Structure 1
Amino acid sequence: MSNPIKSELKMLLQKLEQLKTLFTEMEMALIAYSGGVDSTLVAKIAYDVLGDRALAVTAESPSLLPEELEDARIQAATIGIRHQVVQTHEIENPNYTANPVNRCYFCKSELHDTLKPLAQQLGYPYVVDGVNADDLHDYRPGIQAAKERGARSPLAELSITKAEVRELSKYLGLPWWDKPAQPCLSSRFPYGEEITIAKLQRVGRAEIYLRKLGLKNLRVRSEGETAKIELPPEQIKEFVLTTNLPTLVSAFQEFGFIYVTLDLEGYRSGKLNQVLTFASTSAKV
């Protein structure tokens, strides 16, 4: 009788070898590196295979928390891969700041319109990203923008899921294997609400404040002048009972919010897109 755990590990290691083979065939690669668990795994494998022929590039903009940039620097140094930071200017594009449902398309267009010329200038034939197989089943207009500009997604190409990314990262001894997902700060705003640097900064400060309380998997959604805190459902009761709520509200008001609320459903990845599902369902009624 076969051991299911050993079978899963065998399949996982096969995918790891396929990743290595893919980078061997590329010979040189520039990695769109956010510092998230997905792109960091890609950067790790690329470096293991290519050494100095791999380059990780992080885009710095108002939608990236400074702490996330610092994490990206530390992780790149730990891996050993060469790391470069470039500036992107999606916040100057009115198509982006208007925050339409395909906002991410304009963000990734700016990113890859920056990375592709850089790769060509430095002699890298490929720009690769950290899109995984699960991302293909969510509403991700940014994926199309990357494809249009010739970027490759090794994890998605090899059908590697988010769970497998974490398992591979853990197997390789990467200490951030369980790092919570951290999409750009613009994802905290409902579609149609204008995005400004000031709004991004107040959301960023609010999330940093909560993380300093020891919370990890969280979001602060911004709706007009209201901050809506999302926490894992199992943490909500303890948060209410143990947090000095007046102090928290005062801090959030100093950041620029007027009202502070708590989402009783709790944190759920992709919640921003539920309005799209609701709109689609309503249209069929």
Structure 2
Amino acid sequence: MEEDSLQKYFENFTSCLVALSGGRDSAAVLKLAVEFLGKENVFAATCVNFNVFLYEIENARRIADYFKVPWIPFYTNQSHEFLKNPKDKCYYCKKEVLKTLTVIKDKYGLDIIFDGTNTDDLKDYRPGMKALHEYSVRSPLLENNFGKKFAAEETSFLQKIGVHFTVESCAATRIMEQEITLDLLRKIELTENSLRYRYPTIRIRVLKNKIKVEFKNKISLTKNDKEIIREKINKYFDVPIITIQS
């Protein structure tokens, strides 16, 4: 039944550009697009701005290579509104990304832009979704009532080519009480890179005078674990307070 529904859905399109973030959801969309439209009708593009984790960019490259579709990395302008770090910064970021994706889509004569938005995303505050409507982006998972569980099932086999899905949110979301700068983004990247594979889903939240360590999934930490985390943070940040939420 799922396959029949997806077949009918994809019959509305002849070609597409997949906004491939390097996370599970957009990887699942790329897989479906290749299956139902054929790899010759599918392109993938990935934003490689400094707020995107390097491991996710590498994920995207490997995923596109696995499915044998053209992969286009691109930069965007980071708007003044985004760098000011308002609550709805994701909208300003997404708007610039989609503006560039639209240029790429038109350049190659593709039918539509697909992204990885799914039913689970509706549970969170996601101001970037407004931009999806403004640029007529389609979301195959959401429109077919699929969530993250479906995406995880569809992409689990990618581990065999060295793709590891972990954080799936950009570094700018870690900066809580100040403007977004390249220096802060790089420090967050380096710190999380040094801890990510030992402590999956770790998130380094940067506040004005302290670092708050969180985990998307509950984790049990020993005293030694906390010492290791503090040591790595102190390598890149000079802050008086570090709190670790396990």
- CA–CA distance in 2 between the matches of 1:236 and 1:109? 38
Unaligned runs of 5+ in 2: none
- 1:250-271 residue CA offsets vs partner (Å, 9 max, x unmatched): 442331332452333x4xxxxx
> What does 1:151-170 align with in structure 2 at a 5 Å threshold?
151-170=137-156
- CA–CA distance in 2 between the matches of 1:54 and 1:233? 34
- CA–CA distance in 1 between the matches of 2:215 and 2:115? 28
Contact preservation (8 Å) 2:98, 2:135: yes
Which one of the candidate residues 28, 41, 45 is aligned to 1:53?
Answer: 41
1:235 match: secondary structure: coil
Match of 1:110 in 2: 96
Contact preservation (8 Å) 1:61, 1:87: yes
TM-score (normalised: structure 1)? 0.78
Match of 1:88 in 2: 76
- CA–CA distance in 2 between the matches of 1:120 and 1:232? 37
Which one of the candidate residues 230, 240, 245 is aligned to 1:249?
Answer: 230
> What does 1:13-32 align with in structure 2 at a 5 Å threshold?
14-32=1-19
- CA–CA distance in 2 between the matches of 1:67 and 1:141? 24
- CA–CA distance in 2 between the matches of 1:80 and 1:24? 21
Q: Which amino acid aligns with 2:84?
A: A
> What does 1:104-253 align with in structure 2 at a 5 Å threshold?
104-170=90-156, 173-175=157-159, 179-190=165-176, 192-212=177-197, 214-231=198-215, 234-238=218-222, 240=223, 242-243=224-225, 245=227, 248-253=229-234
CA distance 1:232–1:152, shift in 2 (3 Å): closer
Contact preservation (8 Å) 1:227, 1:257: no
* C-alpha displacement of 1:232: 6.0
Unaligned runs of 5+ in 1: 1-13, 267-285
1:243 match: secondary structure: helix
1:98 partnered with 2:79: no
- CA–CA distance in 2 between the matches of 1:233 and 1:84? 32
* C-alpha displacement of 1:248: 4.5
- 1:59-118 residue CA offsets vs partner (Å, 9 max, x unmatched): 11010111221121112212222211111122xx11101111111100110000111121
- CA–CA distance in 2 between the matches of 1:89 and 1:30? 20
Larger radius of gyration: 1
- 1:20-67 residue CA offsets vs partner (Å, 9 max, x unmatched): 432333110001110100000001111122212100100110101112
Percent identity (aligned): 26
- 1:135-181 residue CA offsets vs partner (Å, 9 max, x unmatched): 123211101111111111111111111122223334xx333898234
- CA–CA distance in 2 between the matches of 1:121 and 1:111? 15
* C-alpha displacement of 1:223: 0.7
- CA–CA distance in 2 between the matches of 1:110 and 1:234? 34
* C-alpha displacement of 1:120: 1.0
- 1:220-277 residue CA offsets vs partner (Å, 9 max, x unmatched): 1111242221136753333x3x3371x643442331332452333x4xxxxxxxxxxx
Aligned-residue Cα RMSD (Å) equals 2.2
Match of 1:7 in 2: none
TM-score (normalised: structure 2)? 0.89
- CA–CA distance in 2 between the matches of 1:30 and 1:215? 34
Match of 1:42 in 2: 29
Contact preservation (8 Å) 2:59, 2:164: no
- CA–CA distance in 2 between the matches of 1:160 and 1:168? 11
Q: Which amino acid aligns with 2:203?
A: R
Aligned length: 243
Which of the two has greater helix per residue? 1
Match of 1:72 in 2: 60
